[in-house]
Amino acid sequence: MSNKYEPSKVEDNYYKIWEDRGYFEVDGNKNIQEVGKNFSIMMPPPNVTGSLHIGHALTFTLQDIITRFKRMDGFKTLWQPGTDHAGIATQNVVEKQLLAEGTTKEEIGREKFLERAWLQKETSGGNIVHQMRKLGVTPAWKRERFTMDEGLKEAVKEAFVSLYNDGFITQNNYMVNWCTHDGALSDIEVEHEEVNGKFYHMNYHFADGSGHVTVATTRPETYFGDTAIMVHPDDERYTNIIGKEVILPLTDRKIKVITDSHVDMEFGTGVVKVTPAHDQNDYEVGKRHNLEFITCFDDKGILNEYCGEFAGLERLEAREPIVKKLQDEGFIVKIDEHVHQVGHCYRCKNIVEPFISQQWFLSEKVAQSSIAKTKAHNNFHPAHWINSYTAWMDELRPWCISRQLWWGHRIPVFTCDSCNHQWADQADEPEACPKCGNKHYTQDPDVLDTWFSSALWAMSPLGWGNNGKLPELYDFEQDMKDFYPNSLLITGFDIMFFWVARMMMMGDHFQGELPFKDIYMHALVRDEHGAKMSKSKGNVIDPLDMVEEHSADIIRFTLAYLAVQGRDIKLGAKNLEQFRNFTNKLYNASNFLTLNVDTFPDLKDIEIKTPLGIYMQSRLSDAVDEVRDTLENFKFNEAASTLYRFVWTEFCDWGIEYSKASKESIVELGAIFKETLKMVSPFMPFISDYLYHKLSGTSLEEGADSLMVTNFPSNVKKDEKIEEMFAIIEEAITALRRAKVIIDMGNSKISKAYIKLDKQIDTDVAKPFIEKLAKVEDIEFVDAKVENSITDVSDNLEVYLPTGEIDMTPIISKLEKQKEKVEKEVNKLNGMLSNERFVANAPEAVVAENKQALEDARNKLEKIENELKALGV
């Protein structure tokens, strides 16, 4: 084994060994598994077309830390991996490829298109999985699932058919969010962005020639679908026009003036056009008033015959020529600038239209039981996420689950060509119509929303609804017993409603209990200034670049250390540098130990006897308890902070330094450090394995087991009495260092010092540690104050440095010069602040700044005077 730690070589090599040995699988830790302890967590399946971004890195790192911890703690552990078919995203990729080849999906047909989509999946599907391996994550790769594999296809059909037969899935003509490229979208797939638009004020003339009324709109291209204009019933300005007819500009179609309390009298002119087929609010008005629903453009956004000479134009491209014609004909009164929210497709960023379409919907009633249980047993971490969940779910509407795509789970609904009977069927090709026996039927052309299959993810990869497909993966029946409900879900809050809430409703509906015992919602990773990362800002951090530059261990520990519950992570170069230094600290500690002893036993195989060994073991005990408690409560940052503090401060800054006065303790410290590496392992698995084997004189490559399948530390022996003694030792060393600073000998060795203790300790044990670390040749413990000495008083002791043996002249001279300089500063500031004119005329901030400077100078002067007094001046 090389003496130099090279992450780029170690990480890829170790990962392959771990995976080849099956450590990540359910039985990978069988030698330490304890009966009745099961742990399961589902990986949020990343898009098969995607690549690893920093949000993924955070999710997978936290999941891996808790999985490794549970695996080491004797749990039968399943971290279920998988990828999502990503209906819209994958179809868009393939369609662009076809366009580049000069063809379209319609030209090659559905069957050929799906062949291309599967090819795309096979080509790019492994990319993100490869990238995840670079991060060192340990899901059960042999059980990897894909949301359109044979078993999960069966589960989707099982769920759909059951919900359909129970009346929870129905087909309706309804207003949906419509992307003219990607088809129907659910409410949460629409991203609302603030845009700089315009407010068009148009005159609608009364049919009887009695004048006109002015209507304001942001979307003039939709006015061809108007079937009324409306005013508020209490708006006295328009009482005389209620019931009258107006003529739509550029057409001969007449519509009526109606009243509805939906109108905001204070907004615009107080007169509103009603376009029931192209506006969500107007849709409800249209139903209330039995208005005609006129669709003025098709599902591709192309204007139709209702739009006269503008038919054939795309809706957004049509706006400019329509407005110009309205202006030329005198219908436009004015155009104002107007900032407003516009919905965009979350995938292709196209402007979304409210559009009436025949779609499949899942009733919100399916979620009622899960909502009640979630409110009763708030299992969110941080707990405040229950408020967001409740606010959304209490307003839940039917979920549009159909999508106008070819790539995805095809809706398993069939219509008989003979009797027109419609039914849902789990068979891909039913034998015949169940009503009339006819063998000719048509399947619904649409596919299911990608999130429908993802909503089953807590149970379908465990075998629920797989109907015997892919049985070679595992024992479906046993896995449902062992791993449902899942122990934990870790994901970003941004997909709470896309995914988490939908898994809650589906899991509870089909299994009668919520799918997760705990749900940890992590925040966003932002740049070091707190800005959201985006390609346009140029502030995106690529986790793979960070792994390449630093190491997987460093990026993992950095993310964990910064992952405070409920708080966004600000990630910058300084954070990564801080934890690069931490890995150096681990490495240097290991090097120090091996300079003195070749190999070290495990803690369980050695009896700790030396005072230093007993002390460091006791401090380890506290660290173990803290790390365990914080991980059990998903406080990853606190667990990482405890590790950082114990390794850096307690073990290295104190323990290793103490060992220079206690060479006989080094073997024990090595055993304690090896136990510490087991705690570090879930966070920084590569370097911890490397150093553990280096200290053990073993090799992972030559067959030694990885730390990841050894027991996580527990029940480490504690000794409060010896901790109290070393606390006094540390206090004495610190006090002596402070006293030496007064005489300008902070880092120099002195011959003599005295210590007066307020507490009884074993001074024979304490003496060599204090002498070595405080750099004093001889320490003497006394019962009374030593005259003619520099004194430092702390909580439990006083230290004295005798001045008789030290030439104090240069020290006193230096302090007196400092005193003179500070006195001048005090006098200057006093004079300034005593000047009433200055205080009255100077800016408030300047006066405050000078007052603070005066206070600081006085404190400094007092300190110097005390030091001179201590020197007898």
* DSSP calls for 779-838: EEEESSPPSSEEEEE-SSEEEEEESTTS--HHHHHHHHHHHHHHHHHHHHHHHHHH-HHH
Q: Which residues are annotated as a binding site for ATP?
A: 535
**Paired tokens of 594:** 């091996």
Number of alpha carbons in the 13 Å side-chain half-sphere of residue 394: 7
CA dihedral of 543, 544, 549, 551, whole degrees rounded to 10: 80
Phi-psi category of residue 275: left, alpha or beta, with phi > 0 → left and psi -120 to 50 → alpha = beta
Distance of alpha carbon 870 from alpha carbon 206, whole angstroms = 100
Residue of 516, 519, 520, 537 whose CA lies nearest to 528 = 537
Rounded to 5 degrees, φ, ψ at 355 are -150, 135
**Paired tokens of 506:** 């589906």
Distance of alpha carbon 485 from alpha carbon 473, whole angstroms = 20
Distance of alpha carbon 594 from alpha carbon 617, whole angstroms = 19
**DSSP-derived pairing of the beta strands 272-274 and 402-403:** unpaired
**Paired tokens of 786:** 């030593």
Q: CA dist 723 to 98, 611, 626, 642, 669, Å? A: 72, 10, 17, 18, 16
CA angle 391, 395, 398 (to 5 degrees): 135
CA angle 200, 202, 206 (to 5 degrees): 165
Rounded to 5 degrees, φ, ψ at 861 are -65, -40
Rounded to 5 degrees, φ, ψ at 628 are -60, -50
Residue 523 DSSP code? -
* DSSP calls for 561-592: HH--TTS-EEE-HHHHHHHHHHHHHHHHHHHH
Give 259: exposed, middle or buried? Use CB within 10 Å, 0-12, 13-18, 19+: middle
Within its chain, how far is the Cα of 245 from the centroid?
56
Q: Which residues are annotated as a binding site?
A: 535
Give, for 213, the enclosing helix (H) or strand (E): strand 212-217
Distance of alpha carbon 419 from alpha carbon 406, whole angstroms = 27
Distance of alpha carbon 789 from alpha carbon 780, whole angstroms = 14
**DSSP-derived pairing of the beta strands 245-247 and 272-274:** unpaired
Rg (CA), the chain: 37
Identity of the amino acid at 67: T
CA dihedral of 427, 428, 432, 436, whole degrees rounded to 10: 80
**Paired tokens of 507:** 């899991």
Residue for token pair 């210590």 = 755
Q: What is the three-state SS of 391-425?
A: HHHCCCCCEECEECCCCCCECCEEEECCCCCEEEC
Identity of the amino acid at 548: E
* DSSP calls for 421-454: -EEE-SSSS-SS-TTT--S-EEE-S-EE-HHHHH
Strand partners, 199: 336
**Paired tokens of 872:** 């007898």
**Paired tokens of 412:** 């398993």
Q: CA dist 350 to 93, 188, 190, Å? A: 16, 15, 10
